[in-house]
Structure 1
Amino acid sequence: MTRASCHACATARTELERILADYDLPLTVHDVDQLAEAGDLEPRAEYGDRVPVILLDGVEHGYWEVEEGRLRAALDVRR
């Protein structure tokens, strides 16, 4: 979960793209403000004050920054 003009979101995206490439996994990005404009208010209400929020299999894994070691451990379990 992200939003435009969010420096931390841009940093997290770069880190996630690098990490996920090692697992041959795609990155899916959802902008909470765009979703709200389209009528889906729940993501902005839930995650808007904590972006970037990292979801893994639809479950919140972390927010504000990527914890690489923790994320890699979770991805290793999924293999």
Structure 2
Amino acid sequence: MTQPGPAQPRVTVLTKPGCGLCEKAMVVIEEVCTDLGVGWTEIDITKDEDLFAKWWEQIPVTLVDGVQHTFWRVDPDRLRAALTR
């Protein structure tokens, strides 16, 4: 799922189906990104063997501008700060 925003989403969230932490993280990310007008995208790691092998223990993983920002839980204030620098 990709949400409207700049041409390249600044936030990427690596998730997998049935992940409760992923669902909670997505709520925070959608709220912060919508407030700031920042694009974001969600990638299901179960559809990519390399992503699954690299990230399965840390999901959800949040990347900002392609760099790992956090994993497991997303702090809205910290995400907002990273996106407004």
Q: Which TM-score band (shorter chain)? A: 0.7 to 0.9
More strand per residue: 2
Which secondary structure does the structure 2 equivalent of 1:62 belong to?
strand
Matched residue count: 72
RMSD: 0.9
More helix per residue: 1
Shift of 1:26: 2.2
Shift of 1:63: 0.3
Q: Give identity over the alignment, percent.
A: 33
Write the distance in 1 (CA, Å) between the matches of 2:82 and 2:23: 22
If asked which structure has higher relative contact order (CA below 8 Å, sep 6+), I would say: 2
1:47-76 CA-to-partner distances (Å, cap 9, x unmatched) read: 111100000111100000002221111111
Q: Which has the larger radius of gyration?
A: 1
Aligned to 1:51: 59
Gapped regions of structure 1 (runs ≥ 5): 36-40
